[in-house]
Structure 1
Amino acid sequence: MTAMILAAGRGERMRPLTDEKPKPLLEVSQKPLIEWHLEKLAQCGFKKVVINIAHLGYMIPKRLGDGSKWGLEICYSDEQESGALESAGGIIKALPELSEEFLVLNADIWCDYEFKNGFKLNGKLAHLILVENPEHNPKGDFEYKGLKYTFSGIGYYSKKMFENMKVKKLALAPILIQNIAKNKISFEIHKGIWMDIGTVQRLKKVNKLCNLK
């Protein structure tokens, strides 16, 4: 199973930090956030990781190389010329490099979720990992068993969900909502550590928590 890390976002809310480096290279405990994900993916048995890049994208392969440091093969899906294609657009562009069923995670999250190499969708088009609603998203994103939860930015997908879609700037949420209505998506609740590092304040918070350990 291939994994994909979505790493092309501008990180507007992280400015001025992201004026000089892409958000995935911002550090948690003196290590770029994306390297924590690569270490975890390697530990969970993944061998190939696709990373999409756009804003200051050249800095990411310069830092990470070919992935051999982690025993991984890293393939870069370059969106620097077109500009970031958003989540679904980025996935569609990278489809030729992805396995029939694949894992996708946002680069800007901090969590202790155990990625499942070889996860089976069993006929569904996607399986989304949900978390309890954080302060910045109190109303949640999706309903599961009568309660609203927040999408963690981690999910398993089938290529079939993106069939016949053209490479263009395209959000993922409308596609998910459409397929949830068709009962084509399953869910799982992650009860462990999870944080969306979308602001400078949250980055500082994660670093503070790590330094307390």
Structure 2
Amino acid sequence: MIAMILAAGFGTRLRPLTDRIAKPALPLPGTTLLECNLALAARAGATEVVVNAHHLPHTVARVAREAADRLSLRLHLCFESGAILGTGGALVAARPLLDRGAPFLLLNGDVLTDLDPRRALDAHLATGADTTMVLRPMPKGADFAPVEVDARGNIARIAGLGREAQVAEELRSFAFTGIHVLTPAIFETLPADGASCVNRAGHVGLIRAGRRVSAHVEEGGRWSDVGTPERYLEANLDLLEGRYRLPSVSGFQMSAGIVVAEGASIEDGASLVAPSYVGPGVTVRAGAKVGPRAVLHEGCVVEGEVVEAVVPPGGLVSRGRTVRSAIA
């Protein structure tokens, strides 16, 4: 089976982090967002994966190559030049790789989740649907565009688009997880050229054509759209404390203790408090205080204090400075 990971977006809400690193390539303790999604695809049975790239494509390509090699996945990279193609246009560009007359997975590369796509794949095969979207109960206060599902488990509308409202029809609203099970039918409603949205053009087009777009609802597990600094901080700290049940990635498993990666330097007189993660090439100077709940990513230098916080790659926390409940 083949899967595709969408990794071309700009990540504007995460600037300035995403001015240097594409959002799917952002690091997490011992891994990256992109590697977590590649691992989910592999757990679902994928042996090949397509990753598209547009913004800072070299950072996406590097992470994808390293992770695919660790996971024994055959990797296909699709570089988008010029205007970004969107989720639908990216699929069309990769159609020669994906259109094999069989279902394939599509995952958003900027989502962190421990949901198992195998369950969605099994449900899709059981229903015989043209496409399946993996949904979750709508979080309280969330502003996600609703996906409305009828009593038969079919999707009627996405963000208000799709089937016309039926008298006395009861629809339930859910949030979309960014995980799809698709068949080549999706290409029938996507524009052949240019940018498009797989949800609003692809799935909605199938709904309007009377085709079956099925809902697979996951009640449990953890899921986060890592699209803001607050959610990126939360994702790092949640992984630090083992709150996600993820497939093993990078040969690394987080625990509640202190993890110091190879190549890190901890000077005498530095203080580390669990749980903390010290990445490769990190330097913690004498007198520095790290933790609890601190994540220090590759190549950063800490001279001051880091508590419930993340220091991104190459960051510096100078002497006398304290970073608390924030990204440095």
> TM > 0.5 between the two?
yes
Match of 2:215 in 1: 187
* Contact in 2 for aligned 1:121/1:127 (Cα 8 Å): no
The range that moved more, 19-28 or 154-163, is: 154-163
| 1:54/1:138 CA distance change after superposition, 3 Å | closer
* Contact in 1 for aligned 2:14/2:229 (Cα 8 Å): yes
Match of 1:211 among 240, 250, 254: 240
| 1:62/1:21 CA distance change after superposition, 3 Å | same
* Contact in 2 for aligned 1:53/1:84 (Cα 8 Å): no
Counting only pairs closer than 5 Å after superposition, residues 29-178 of structure 1 correspond to structure 2 as 29-65=29-65, 67-79=68-80, 81-98=81-98, 99-100=100-101, 101-116=103-118, 120=125, 123-135=128-140, 137-138=142-143, 140-144=145-149, 145=151, 146-163=171-188, 165-175=191-201, 176-178=203-205
| 1:185/1:5 CA distance change after superposition, 3 Å | same
The range that moved more, 49-58 or 137-146, is: 137-146
- State how far apart, in whole Å, the 2-side matches of 1:139 and 1:203 are: 18
- State how far apart, in whole Å, the 2-side matches of 1:36 and 1:88 are: 22
What secondary structure sits across from 1:173 in the alignment? helix
Identity %: 28
Match of 1:201 in 2: 230
What secondary structure sits across from 1:113 in the alignment? coil
The range that moved more, 178-187 or 29-38, is: 178-187
Deviation at 1:17, TM superposition (A): 0.5
What secondary structure sits across from 1:110 in the alignment? strand
What secondary structure sits across from 2:94 in the alignment? helix
The one-character-per-residue Cα deviations of 1:4-36 (angstroms, maximum 9, x if unpaired) are: 000000111111110001001112224211111
Superposition TM-score, scaled by structure 2 size: 0.60
Given residue 57 of structure 1, which amino acid in structure 2 is its aligned partner? P
- State how far apart, in whole Å, the 1-side matches of 2:172 and 2:113 are: 22
Q: How many residues were matched structurally?
A: 212
| 1:133/1:10 CA distance change after superposition, 3 Å | same
What secondary structure sits across from 1:96 in the alignment? helix
What secondary structure sits across from 1:65 in the alignment? helix
Flag structure 1 segments of 5+ consecutive residues without an equivalent. Answer: none
The one-character-per-residue Cα deviations of 1:103-127 (angstroms, maximum 9, x if unpaired) are: 1000011111112267537542210
Q: Report the aligned-residue RMSD.
A: 2.1
* Contact in 1 for aligned 2:88/2:196 (Cα 8 Å): yes
What secondary structure sits across from 1:103 in the alignment? strand
